[in-house]
């Protein structure tokens, strides 16, 4: 069975490389898939190809992150969740999906549109949220996202909202490495930050690293601001 497995792995490599996936990531993933597919005993009832696909899924899950992060939210406790990440990673749509997720679990949820960079961002957010009846707070004439976030939190606190989800502007990978940390400054208490990462090819690996560096710098900046205030 070694020959068909190697052929499948080569097909996988070609497909990923044609999709512009990072070469090192392709090699890392394909080696893991080939190694497990050759060493593991084929489970009863499935074909060799199906087993390889299963192994591939599990290895990709390991890379992205297999341990789910829990967001502790309960009725009556005011919580904030801010989405940050690279441009085009789906933060706006994800903010509405998350709002709907928690809304279906009986929580009062509101969304803040703090993306002052992308044209039409607030309108898109409102249109998406309207389909699932999620309220959206935004200030079309305000240029500072931190002001919008602050006012939005004040608004939803008065409305007895359980969870506020803040949609922020995307940043290019080079902006983060150059030191552009501009993002709404939200009090750390009861706040969860979610990094949105897409599945685009070659930049996939670099984006994850850039997000980690930027997040650490942003957290450090908040600590410095606290000491000086």
Provide the CATH number for the domain around residue 31: 1.20.120.140
CB atoms inside a 10 Å sphere around CB 96? 24
Q: Specify the number of domains making up the chain.
A: 2
pTM confidence score: 0.58
**pLDDT tens-place values along the chain, 229 residues long:** 688 888 888 988 898 888 777 788 889 889 999 999 888 888 888 888 788 888 888 888 887 666 666 767 888 889 999 988 777 778 899 999 999 999 999 999 999 999 998 889 999 999 999 999 999 999 998 989 999 999 999 999 999 999 999 999 876 545 544 444 445 554 444 445 454 444 444 444 444 444 444 444 444 443 444 444 4
Same domain, 131 and 177: yes
Range of the domain at 224: 79-228
Same domain, 150 and 216: yes
Strand intervals (E) in 59-130: 79-85, 109-114
Same domain, 104 and 146: yes
* Torsion sign over Cα 20, 25, 29, 30: positive
In a domain, 107, yes or no: yes
Same domain, 19 and 90: no
Same domain, 59 and 84: no
Query: Which CATH number belongs to the domain containing residue 83 in this structure?
Result: 3.40.50.300
């Amino acid at each position: 069975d070694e020959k068909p497995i190697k052929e499948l792995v080569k097909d996988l490599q070609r497909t990923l490389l044609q999709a512009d996936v990072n070469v090192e990531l392709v090699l890392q993933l394909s080696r893991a898939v080939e190694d497990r597919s050759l060493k593991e005993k084929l489970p009863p009832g499935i074909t060799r190809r199906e087993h390889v696909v299963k192994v591939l899924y599990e290895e990709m899950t390991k890379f992205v992150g297999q341990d789910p992060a829990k967001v502790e939210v309960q009725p009556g406790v005011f919580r904030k969740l801010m989405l940050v990440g690279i441009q085009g990673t789906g933060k706006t749509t994800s903010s509405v999906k998350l709002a709907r997720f928690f809304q279906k679990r009986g929580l009062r949820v509101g969304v803040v549109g703090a993306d002052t960079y992308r044209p039409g961002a607030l309108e898109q957010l409102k249109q998406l949220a309207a389909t699932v009846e999620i309220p959206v707070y935004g200030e079309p004439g305000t240029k500072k996202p931190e002001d919008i976030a602050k006012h939005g939190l004040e608004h939803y606190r008065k409305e007895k909202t359980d969870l506020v989800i803040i949609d922020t502007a995307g940043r290019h990978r080079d902006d983060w490495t150059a030191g552009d940390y501009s993002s709404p400054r939200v009090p750390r208490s009861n706040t969860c930050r979610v990094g949105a990462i897409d599945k685009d090819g070659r930049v996939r690996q670099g984006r994850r690293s850039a997000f980690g560096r930027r997040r650490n710098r942003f957290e450090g900046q908040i600590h410095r601001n606290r000491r000086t205030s």
